Amino acid sequence: MTYMKRDVKKMLSLMAVFTFVALLSDCGGGGREVARSSSTPTPAPSNKLSILGSTTLLPIAQKAVEEFQKRKPEIKITLTGGGSLTGINGLVDGYADIAMSSREMKDEEKMKMQLKRATPAKATLVAWDGIIPIVHPSNPVKNLTIAQLKDIFTGKITDWGQVGGKKSKIIVVSRDITSGTHEAWAELVLNNEQVTKSAQEKASSGAVLEVVASTPDAIGYDGIGYVEDNNRVKQVSVEGKAASAVTILDRSYKIARPLYLFTRENPNKAVVEFLNFFLSPEGQVLVKEAKFVPLSQHP
């Protein structure tokens, strides 16, 4: 009987050990599952909003943020330029809630967004823009063809005398490669050829305008919001058409493009409220005030 009792006690002890090990294994499995789920991005707080990207969109966004915060002062907003690529990278890497972009997202960017954030990107069209060639006010050239612009910016035409101006060396001013404006210009004008190596590359639309305004032989390009009614530079017509809301929307002006705000597919409440304001009649008035083309004018 004594041995039997000892055997029973021993058996019960072994069963307790096995049970404890099994429970420990289950906890470990659960711990690994929690670790996997913790990599899923946590939505940003609904009272904070980070907007980053295109310097083309920056003047509109500044107006929109100012007016939106009057309505929603509890939402803290940070707004920064840096270019379309910077904004898209910020959205993909999780430190921007809204990416301002003057171009569409590329397939590889959409794929990175899906992989890193476990959600697709959502595009919201907010305005239209025309990219305008600009020269110094003293330059007599008033109109250029797409072919002439391409040859100037790729370095095949190097003197203003070749396109009806005074004989002098052309100074090319371009946006840098992080810019959606640069990419749109490359696609719509250069047929994706490289800008001449002698070009001065600038990090913002404002910087391009400043160089052209102070350099008699320079040529650059900027969005209509930077150029319209600005007498420090002169707009150059393209194929005989001047850029305006009408010619941009009816596509008779050839260098036109949509402007976007990119977000996660299911953004937080602050993002939704800001997008709704941007697309509202009040928000679209701000687009027009910034001298871009509001959606309400689109046919």
Mean pLDDT of 244-263: 94
- Tell me the pLDDT of the chain averaged across its residues: 86
pLDDT of residue 297: 64
pLDDT of residue 46: 65
- Which residue did the predictor score with more confidence, 224 or 41? 224
Q: What is the pLDDT of residues 116-146, one digit of tens each?
A: 999 999 999 999 999 999 999 999 999 999 9
Euclidean distance between CA atoms 221 and 182, whole angstroms: 9
pLDDT of residue 28: 39
pTM listed for this prediction: 0.77
pLDDT of residue 64: 97
pLDDT of residue 7: 43
CB 276 within 8 A of CB 206: no
> Would you place residue 47 in the very low, low, confident or very high pLDDT band (cuts 50, 70, 90)?
confident
Q: What is the pLDDT of residues 138-178, one digit of tens each?
A: 999 999 999 999 999 999 999 999 999 999 999 999 999 99
Q: What is the pLDDT of residues 189-244, one digit of tens each?
A: 999 999 999 999 999 999 999 999 999 999 999 999 999 889 999 999 999 999 99
